[in-house]
Amino acid sequence: MARARLLSGFRIDPARGGERVERLAFLRHGPVSVDLRAPLTFLIGENGSGKTTLLEALAARCGIRPGGGESYAETDAERDATALSDAVEARFATRRLRGLFLRADRFAETMARAGRLPMPATGEWRLAEEQSRGEGVLSLLTARVDASESLLYLLDEPETGLSPQRQMALLCLLDDLHKDGRSQAIVATHSPLLMSHPGADLLWIGEDGISRRDLVDVPHWRDMRRFMRDPDEAVKRLLG
């Protein structure tokens, strides 16, 4: 099956986005253009690098609200995000784009809208807002992926609150989405487990812009591998 690229790329021009966009380090040297080559893309960078801000801008440009709903700029925070989208030019592969934006700090609102969902581990139906954050992420995404809808998933650190075992379950779920051929996911993450997906495109967001990297060249993954090889020595060095 052909691999979906509902969003084929984007360009960000800091001169068009206002003061908040101009302060982002990855735009320090001017406009940034990105081609999206895979149905699963990970945005990786240090805290404060601009991953969430970029997802906000893409969501606003695509008309996808955090938490669901019909229109976007319903709150002051959303109006700010909509303004950020002025800096973004997006290239769409379809005119009828639908999506899901899970923003880390708005997850409770998303779950309040979701209603009852089957829990992946047991199949028990439970109100989404009664599940833990980790359970809720997996329940919501499983329900959407199982429905085989053509969606653009914009996921902001979905691993938050997930144990390593549940992160592996999320990795399998993203693999299902990757193989399905109908949808596309852009995921901001710090998780070395998630970014290890063999078919994913890894985009590093740093002071020099946005660049593609192999897994072995991603600092998050490299540091975790070094730590796991000799935890005792790594802790000794860290604590002096």
| pLDDT score recorded for residue 109 | 67
User: Sign of torsion, CA 140 141 146 149?
Assistant: positive
Amino acid at 159: E
Residue type for position 62: C
* DSSP H/E element including 171: helix 164-180
- Spell out the per-residue pLDDT of the chain, length 240, in tens: 445 578 999 999 988 877 777 788 899 889 999 999 999 999 999 998 989 889 988 888 888 876 554 445 445 555 555 556 788 899 987 766 788 888 777 666 666 666 666 555 556 666 656 666 677 778 778 877 777 778 899 999 999 888 899 899 999 999 998 888 889 999 999 999 999 999 999 999 999 999 999 999 999 999 999 999 999 998 998 898
Name the residue ranges covered by the structural domains of the chain: 7-239
What pLDDT digit, counting tens, does each position of 119-157 carry? Answer: 555 566 666 566 666 777 787 788 777 777 788 999 999
Q: Rounded to whole angstroms, how far apart are CA atoms 228 and 83?
A: 43
> Which structure tokens are listed for 214?
């192999």
Show Cβ contacts of residue 87 under 8 Å, excluding neighbours closer than 6 positions: 12, 13, 14, 16, 17, 18, 21, 57
Copy the structure tokens of residue 150. Answer: 């053509």
pTM for the full predicted model: 0.86
Exposed e or buried b for every residue in 26-54, given b needs 16+ CB within 10 A? Answer: bbeeeebebebebbbbbbbbeeebbbbbb
Q: What are phi and psi of 131, to 5 degrees?
A: -85, 160
What is the topology classification, in CATH, of domain 7-239?
Rossmann fold (3.40.50)
